[in-house]
Chain A
């Protein structure tokens, strides 16, 4: 009688264990998600709710903070600036980076690979001081060109290293057979290799865009009234007398949402991009 198999109790314990597992996972993930919840909920609060002595979970949402960001600031202009710089550095990164990555992947050029990787290790500020001096002297501070060129310092190594792995996956036989058909290297690169690697090219482009969009240090030094990018503009919200946290969190939300949406399109490649060289494959 004591050892009778009891399906319902084993089923219960399995369910309990699985519920416990989900509980642990919820506890682990809560802090990571909470910061985003905090950002978005604060951006929807009135000044009264934000300055309340304790955190208000329940409040009447308002879009006033967003209105303020767009009406009382040139927020649209900052967004356009960020867009121009990110698109510019991504497109030039593709133009320079794709052929270089192709040659590294298929013709073995390890020295160049190392040179480009060293840019990943070098602190960005190493390039910033000389470029600040030079751009000041030739009056190029506060130009899109200066921003795009310096953002490329970050984007080019990233994109090249991502593309190397994608080009390596293109089978040599296909390239060979294009050559047998009489295609020049350029033509086989353009009409055989690139279409085969187009998923990888898209991922590199999107990651390049995200990294440039997020970049702060080069922009804070080299941008000015005409070219201020979003991260610099939002950071500057801090310095205007009394801090308006509603507007700041609204601006922070507007700045991060496009990036998070883009993330969804390239999520498989992001870890590779963040740790170029760390994950082989």
Chain B
């Protein structure tokens, strides 16, 4: 690097000696960077974004127009839009996965939101150990998801797991949990709720601490009950913060992979196969790369479309 030359801080005197012959390479590079800071500082990131992100997306479009089975080293055959027509007209598994993805997302995120905001309101006062609890609340979302998913898989285990022990202790019949076709999505959503409710809580808590005092004093003078104050003052004031937190959760929940793949791999049968799991299975288990690419484009459109809708909703709310 040209550090040594740059250590000399010379006043840039126009027309002075440093402008003519005595300029070192480092000095010249320094001046070039000065004139083109944005370009120079951006270039590595731009190159990365194009090579690693934009190019693969374009390549996926190309792959989606081909029949490409049997692995990466087989040569693709151009078939036009056939993958997409097959996807929309002859693939019940796709539509089932589509519905399931939204079922899982709606269930998980709505519970997380209500629970997360409720816990934030509960914690929003000074008490001994508050800081410690806030730290503890980071653990579910930061611990390795594969580890967390494996522990839940054991807890859901019908004979070994603790959840059936608990049911037995209160006299309820045992459950198959994630091995039960109708229970598997709620059970997986519960893991997501466990993992991500703290995020909503912590974001809401940060929002609560930034609220102005005046409306609350006015409400107290008017004799508003605690519930009235919460419903008519706290919640509307918090709305922008909550909407953003929920938007992030929605986008991520649509993409959930780790916990579903580790706990059920889409089973039993296809009962927990969401779009992300289906794309994964098509590409890396069945090696139908062409078909998987067309699925991927639809999945991508759904997630990006949801994100754009959410941003619109957020702007409209402001």
Contact = CB atoms under 8 A, between A and B. Distances in A.
Contacts of B137: 29, 32
A70 interface: no
A221 interface: yes
A59 interface: no
A4 interface: no
Interface string B121-158: 01100010000011111111111111110111011000
A180 to B, nearest CB: 9
A255 B37 contact: no
Contacts of B42: 99-100, 103, 109, 112
B51 to A, nearest CB: 9
Contacts of B296: 123, 125-126, 129
Nearest to A281: B206
Contact of A217 (B194, B258, B303): B258
Given A21-B127, A123-B299, A123-B300, A32 B258 contact: no
Given A102-B41, A238-B150, A184 B72 contact: no
B258 A99 contact: no
Interface in B25-62: 30-31, 33-34, 37-38, 40-42, 44-46, 48-49, 52-53, 55-57, 59-60
Given A54-B165, A264-B135, A278 B245 contact: yes
Contact of B34 (A103, A184, A249, A252): A184
Contacts of A245: 154, 160
Contacts of A153: 52-53
A24 B121 CA distance: 13
Given A38-B155, A51-B160, A214 B292 contact: no
Contacts of A238: 150, 262
Given A126-B60, A274-B199, A184 B6 contact: yes
Interface stretch (A6-14, A73-81, A132-140): A132-140
B189 to A, nearest CB: 15
Contact of A112 (B45, B63, B123): B45
A182 B31 CA distance: 11
Interface in A231-254: 231, 234-235, 238, 245, 248-249, 251-253
The prevalent SS among residues of A at the interface is helix
Nearest to B162: A55
Contacts of B276: 123, 125
B138 to A, nearest CB: 5
Contact of B10 (A39, A136, A182): A182
A152 B302 CA distance: 24
Interface in B246-276: 247-248, 251, 254-255, 257-258, 261-262, 276
B284 A279 contact: no
Given A103-B37, A249-B154, A112 B144 contact: no
B122 to A, nearest CB: 7
A130 to B, nearest CB: 4
Interface string A43-70: 0000000110111000000000000000
Given A116-B49, A123-B276, A217-B258, A130 B41 contact: no
B240 to A, nearest CB: 10
Contacts of B127: 18, 21-22, 25
Interface size grouping (class) on chain B: 35 or more
A255 B56 contact: no
Contacts, number: 266
Contacts of A29: 133, 136-137
A193 to B, nearest CB: 11
A148 to B, nearest CB: 11
Contact of A260 (B55, B142, B146): B142
B30 A187 contact: yes
Contacts of B292: 129
Given A129-B293, A153-B53, A35 B38 contact: no
A127 B52 contact: yes
Interface in A165-193: 181-187
Interface string B191-231: 00010001100110010000000000000000000000000
Interface of B: 6, 9-12, 30-31, 33-34, 37-38, 40-42, 44-46, 48-49, 52-53, 55-57, 59-60, 63, 71-73, 119, 122-123, 127, 133-148, 150-152, 154-155, 159-160, 162, 165, 168, 194, 198-199, 202-203, 206, 244-245, 247-248, 251, 254-255, 257-258, 261-262, 276, 279-280, 283-284, 289, 292-293, 296, 299-300, 303-304, 307
18 contacts: A35-B155, A95-B44, A118-B304, A119-B49, A125-B279, A126-B296, A134-B59, A136-B72, A153-B52, A156-B45, A184-B33, A185-B34, A216-B146, A238-B150, A249-B151, A259-B143, A270-B142, A271-B202
